[in-house]
Amino acid sequence: MNKSYHTVVIGGGCLGAACAFSVQRRLGNKGGKVAIVEKKVLGAGLSSRHSAIVRSANASPMAARMAKMATQYWKNLRPLWGVSIPYEQPGAIWIAENAGGSGGENWAELERLLQGEGIDFAMISHRDVMAMSRQALKTSPDEIYYHEPDVLQLDSPQILNAMQTAAKKNRIDVLEHCTVIDFEVSGQGICALHTSQGRFFAEHVINAAGAWSAELFAGLGLQIPVALEPVYAANFLVSADDIPDGMPIIADYVNQAYFRRWRGSILHMHQPRSRKPKDIARSFSRTAMNPEGTNVIYDALSFNVSHQQLDNYLGRVIDRFPAIGKPVYAGGYHSFFDITPDLKFILGSDSRFNNLYHCLGAGQALKYAPIFGEIIADLITEGRISSNSVDIEEFSVARFSGNDLTRYWCNDALKQNGL
Ligand SMILES: Cc1cc2nc3c(=O)[nH]c(=O)nc-3n(C[C@H](O)[C@H](O)[C@H](O)COP(=O)(O)OP(=O)(O)OC[C@H]3O[C@@H](n4cnc5c(N)ncnc54)[C@H](O)[C@@H]3O)c2cc1C
């Protein structure tokens, strides 16, 4: 079956959906239809296994600026997607080592940078932390604390549900259980996609295939370095006497753990992306050796958490929340961060094919989804980004071409704070 579209989006995760909604809204009644081609179902990839936190703190000023803009979009999503998503604003407490030297300086520099972007991110005292957590958290003189009050907490199932509703409202052609297998090239552009449901012609193609991108575009000679970093997500049952409802999200870089109270009775936790050059190098080597590619995401075995991993997490909960006693385990799963070599996202036009656009999140896609959708829609419908304050050069896929990727994880900048 042959079909023709104005834009075909490959991948129905949060980024693919956001791009489709923004492009279709711009096309309005002018004609031109947008399709999402998704090999499983909408949101079945990594977009079903995240913590739904929207925060702005980021070591790149431009990424921080864009996250701040995205936060506003999430709060008022209806004009963009045609649906709104409920959110809470618990804020976040960042915990770092008080190294007395480089560690502390990095965080002070981050505070200056974020405040320069108008982002509320400031050092707070041990006493503030105790008050905000109603004495649930353990603090130490060896630690420093920062507060980001504007951090939002969304709910993953509500996001997936909103994506489905918005796809219908925006009259997107959602082709599920449909795999893009190959591309047909004409001149400098991609003219058609070969899929498991036939040949689709497209004026514009958006790559939102996330962790599958490297494999998918290798046949076109494009190098899109995305690898998987495994991570465990665990839930523990808690009482309001142990951890108060409404406690800020805890980004604990001493214990390498994010904690948040979720749906009243759950303490949800997982590790952040590793900034260790060796870990990034290992993630990339693993992908190259994995014959199943990133389909490991869909493997049912990946939903199990071993006793060893659990013990490791229990130790971190007990260390940070001593009053809790031995936490009650309430389930967990294995997930993956879709990382790039420099941990920055890949956004914007392809450097070889003039109708191909990349929209990949580098392990932090959800928070950026609405703004990435708008930027890609700007590029496709206007040929330029409409906001003068946004420059995406730093995130271009071209930064990887012809490069020895190992230089990224040998870069000292990565060894700085974990954002
Ligand atoms: C434990 C954990 C917690 C996280 N928490 C947060 C958080 O709080 N905030 C945040 O911003 N980010 C968070 N992230 C990161 C976030 O989950 C991901 O970056 C994001 O979900 C990626 O979205 P995506 O749309 O790019 O990719 P995906 O959701 O993976 O979508 C890609 C889609 O492409 C489809 N596809 C692939 N190949 C093909 C093909 N050939 N044909 C058709 N379809 C194809 C796949 O089936 C998939 O559905 C977290 C990640 C983890 C692991």
Residue 25: CB atoms within 10 A of its CB come to 19
Q: What is the mean pLDDT of residues 185-203?
A: 96
Q: Which candidate, 236, 250, 207, 248, places its Cα nearest to that of 338?
A: 207
Task: Give the model confidence (pLDDT) of 137-181 as tens digits.
Answer: 999 999 999 999 999 999 999 999 999 999 999 999 999 999 999
Q: 349: helix, coil or strand?
A: strand
What's phi and psi for 163, nearest 5 deg?
Answer: -60, -40
Atom of ligand 1 nearest to the CA of 233: 1
Residue the block writes with tokens 């708008």: 374
Q: 245: helix, coil or strand?
A: coil
The predicted structure's pLDDT at residue 46: 95
Task: Using the predicted structure, report yes or no on whether residue 418 has a pLDDT greater than 70.
Answer: no
Residue 326 contacts by C-beta under 8 Å, 6 or more apart in sequence?
Answer: 314, 318
Q: Are 100 and 259 in contact (CB under 8 A)?
A: no
Query: How far is it, in rounded angstroms, from Cα 307 to Cα 387?
Result: 49
The predicted structure's pLDDT at residue 404: 66
Q: Are 74 and 370 in contact (CB under 8 A)?
A: yes
47 lines ligand 1 (CB under 6 A): yes
What's phi and psi for 326, nearest 5 deg?
Answer: -80, 115
Q: What is the mean pLDDT of residues 251-255?
A: 95
Atom of ligand 1 nearest to the CA of 367: 11
Query: Which of the pair, 30 or 370, is modelled with greater confidence?
Result: 370
Task: Using the predicted structure, report yes or no on whether residue 101 has a pLDDT greater than 80.
Answer: no
Task: Using the predicted structure, report yes or no on whether residue 234 has a pLDDT greater than 50.
Answer: yes
Task: Using the predicted structure, report yes or no on whether residue 352 has a pLDDT greater than 90.
Answer: yes
Sorting pLDDT into bands at 50, 70 and 90, what band is 301?
confident
Sorting pLDDT into bands at 50, 70 and 90, what band is 60?
very high
Sorting pLDDT into bands at 50, 70 and 90, what band is 417?
very low
Task: Using the predicted structure, report yes or no on whether residue 408 has a pLDDT greater than 80.
Answer: no
The third-level CATH classification (topology) of the domain covering 2-72+156-226+343-401 is FAD/NAD(P)-binding domain (3.50.50)
268 lines ligand 1 (CB under 6 A): no
Distance 116 CA to ligand 1 centre (A): 30
339 lines ligand 1 (CB under 6 A): no
Task: Using the predicted structure, report yes or no on whether residue 336 has a pLDDT greater than 80.
Answer: yes
The predicted structure's pLDDT at residue 242: 87
The predicted structure's pLDDT at residue 180: 98
Residue the block writes with tokens 């790149």: 60
345 lines ligand 1 (CB under 6 A): no
Distance 298 CA to ligand 1 centre (A): 12
DSSP structural state of residue 271: P
Residue 326: CB atoms within 10 A of its CB come to 9
Percentage of the chain surpassing pLDDT 90?
Answer: 75
- List C-alpha distances in Å: 58 to 22, 65, 343: 25, 9, 11
Query: How far is it, in rounded angstroms, from Cα 254 to Cα 107?
Result: 13
- List C-alpha distances in Å: 374 to 1, 21, 161, 257: 31, 9, 21, 32
Distance 162 CA to ligand 1 centre (A): 16
Task: Sheet containing 257-262: give its strands across.
Answer: 122-124, 143-148, 92-97, 249-252, 257-262, 266-270, 227-237, 328-339
Q: 386: helix, coil or strand?
A: coil
Which residue is closest in CA terms to ligand 1's atom 31? 13
Task: Using the predicted structure, report yes or no on whether residue 276 has a pLDDT greater than 90.
Answer: no
Query: Which of the pair, 327 or 353, is modelled with greater confidence?
Result: 353
273 lines ligand 1 (CB under 6 A): no
Task: Using the predicted structure, report yes or no on whether residue 414 has a pLDDT greater than 80.
Answer: no
Task: Using the predicted structure, report yes or no on whether residue 419 has a pLDDT greater than 80.
Answer: no
Q: What is the mean pLDDT of residues 207-230?
A: 93
The burial of 173, by beta-carbon neighbours within 10 Å (0-12 exposed, 13-18 middle, 19 or more buried), is given as middle
The predicted structure's pLDDT at residue 103: 59
What's phi and psi for 300, nearest 5 deg?
Answer: -60, -30
The predicted structure's pLDDT at residue 100: 65
Distance 50 CA to ligand 1 centre (A): 8
Task: Using the predicted structure, report yes or no on whether residue 83 has a pLDDT greater than 70.
Answer: yes
Residue 145 contacts by C-beta under 8 Å, 6 or more apart in sequence?
Answer: 93, 94, 95, 96, 123, 124, 125, 126, 128, 129, 139
> CB-hemisphere CA count at 13 Å for 249?
26
The predicted structure's pLDDT at residue 87: 96
Q: What is the mean pLDDT of residues 264-288?
A: 86
Distance 13 CA to ligand 1 centre (A): 6
Q: What is the mean pLDDT of residues 81-96?
A: 97
> CB-hemisphere CA count at 13 Å for 340?
22
The predicted structure's pLDDT at residue 287: 75
Atom of ligand 1 nearest to the CA of 362: 19
Distance 83 CA to ligand 1 centre (A): 21
Sorting pLDDT into bands at 50, 70 and 90, what band is 405?
low
Query: How far is it, in rounded angstroms, from Cα 85 to Cα 366?
Result: 13
Burial string for 127-165 (b: 16+ CB within 10 Å, else e) reads eebeebbeebbebeeebbbbbbebbbbbbbeebbebbbe
Q: Which candidate, 11, 70, 44, 64, places its Cα nearest to that of 298?
A: 44
Q: What is the mean pLDDT of residues 244-252?
A: 93
Rg (CA), the chain: 21
Atom of ligand 1 nearest to the CA of 209: 34
Distance 99 CA to ligand 1 centre (A): 34
Atom of ligand 1 nearest to the CA of 181: 41
- List C-alpha distances in Å: 91 to 18, 45, 210, 369: 24, 27, 28, 20
409 lines ligand 1 (CB under 6 A): no
365 lines ligand 1 (CB under 6 A): yes
- Work out the mean pLDDT of the chain and round it to a whole number: 92
The domain spans of the chain are 2-72+156-226+343-401, 92-149, 228-247+256-339
Q: In what helix (H) or strand (E) does residue 232 lie, and over which residues does it extend?
A: strand 227-237
Distance 224 CA to ligand 1 centre (A): 15
Q: What angle do CA 124, 126, 129 make, to 5 degrees?
A: 70
